Structure 1
Amino acid sequence: MSRATRPRAAVFDAYGTLLDIHSAVARHAARVGDKAAAVSALWRAKQLEATWVLSATGAYEGFDAITDRALGFALATHGIADDTLRADLLRAYRSLDALPDAAAALARLRDAGLATAILSNGQPDALAAATRAAGIAPLLGGILSVHPLRRYKPHPAVYALVTERFACQPDEVAFASSNDWDAHGAARFGFRVFWINRARQPVTYWLDEMATILPDLAALPDAILG
């Protein structure tokens, strides 16, 4: 298939790409205090680190449990011992805000006839709840979770869930992620990858050679549809 041909499906990472991963702490920032930004960043970092360690060692624990453990580590690191706050932050993580450019990008791609879906490390029920709360569930044709596979991104078997679901070849899939390591894994699998570099960070993982780099999702529909 020619790269000039329009893809059949537009598939998105969820956390950090469509959903604002820092909105959970932001809702309780006054209770977390002046360490709110640091807690949120460390929570995310330890969450991702756990998925990589488990995948590398051939083990698995559900993403909900990983998220809880990572939050506990982040709070303890910053000297915050508040079980009620911890429970409230976990609840907030199940209803993250949509990033402001997510809905419009999804709607335009769906209206252009592309299948739209999420491919995420999150567990199915958590993803369903989060997309409903964020108001983007009606714009998605499917939610694909690693949970039944019991492996995390960037394992190639995770990306194969997409080609199996849509009965297509990898280069018929446009894949968008704000996570550089995820974008790299998807590109290695053969997807047409769009790295959403919201943080304007330096290019890593050879993504300048392997992906289209965009500043936000607002630029994505034109990049995919031409």
Structure 2
Amino acid sequence: MTPPEGVTSPEAYVFDAYGTLFDVHAAVRRHAGAMGPEAQAFSDLWRVKQLEYTWVTSLMGQYRDFSALTDEALDFCLARFPQVDKALRDPLLDAYRQLDCYREVPGVLASLKATGVKIAILSNGTPKMLNEAVEAAGLDGLIDDIFSVDVLQIYKTAPAAYALVTTAYDLAAPDIAFQSSNRWDIAGAKAFGFTCHWINRSGAPEEYASLQPDRVFSSLEGLVGSHAAETG
């Protein structure tokens, strides 16, 4: 069986890390009882400020690594929510370094890897952060390569970030399937030329109309059937 017209079989599956493989709200969830009723709002803001800081520093032509920006975003949240005990700062950061992966992740990665394709991460996270997260989640044997923007000192959605993968694998952009739960990341990857799968875990509305994903799934489980159909 050959793939349907216009559909190519990816030679590599590349995953965003935070929000796609790893649950960014898991750190706060572990300490929610001690944080009180504002825990979810705190977690949401932590993520928003973390991403905001990456874009602002990149636009200024400056760079502070993702670990530092994660710390600074947490400090902002602790100031914004003074009722949350500041003694939770270090436990929250420790928990962020060892986030839970989503339940389907190990099985999906194992299924894809068994077909012989390359499996990689492309993330704003530092190499240390990513290695710790992968190890903590037990994904070590399922990931072939970890690409961090730290080597470039500029964050996604800069085209150079996505080019880390095409250069390393010597592949054309459309031959790489890129998966992210972040719609802005999918827009950047689509503009670069990747085949893009938006993992819309939260049922968020569509945006970036001129940069549509190739497919939308509610979880990574959709990739397994999709890959089977494309490869026959």
- 2:116 is the counterpart of 1:88: no
Which runs of 4 or more aligned residues in structure 1 lie more than 3 Å from their structure 2 counterparts after TM superposition?
A: 80-83, 207-210
Deviations 1:174-219 (A, max 9, x none): 0000000000000100000000001101111127834311111111
Q: Which amino acid aligns with 2:49?
A: K
Deviations 1:10-45 (A, max 9, x none): 000000000010000011111111111011000000
Distance 2:211 2:162 in 1: 21
- 2:145 is the counterpart of 1:145: no
Task: Give, in angstroms, the shift of residue 104 of structure 1.
Answer: 1.2
**In the alignment, what sits opposite 1:5?**
8
Task: Give, in angstroms, the shift of residue 67 of structure 1.
Answer: 0.2
Distance 1:159 1:3 in 2: 23
State the Cα RMSD in Å.
1.4
TM-score relative to the length of structure 1: 0.96
**In the alignment, what sits opposite 1:129?**
132
TM-score relative to the length of structure 2: 0.93
- Unaligned stretches of 5+ in structure 1? none
- 2:174 is the counterpart of 1:176: no
Distance 1:3 1:80 in 2: 55
Matches within 5 A, 1:23-102: 23-80=26-83, 82-102=85-105
Deviations 1:52-105 (A, max 9, x none): 111111111010010000011112111146443001100100000011111111
Distance 1:33 1:205 in 2: 36
**In the alignment, what sits opposite 1:212?**
215
CA contact (8 A) 1:183 1:211 kept: no
CA contact (8 A) 1:98 1:136 kept: no
Q: Which amino acid aligns with 1:96?
A: L
- Identity across aligned pairs (percent)? 46
Find the residue that maps to 2:198 and give its secondary structure: strand
- Unaligned stretches of 5+ in structure 2? none
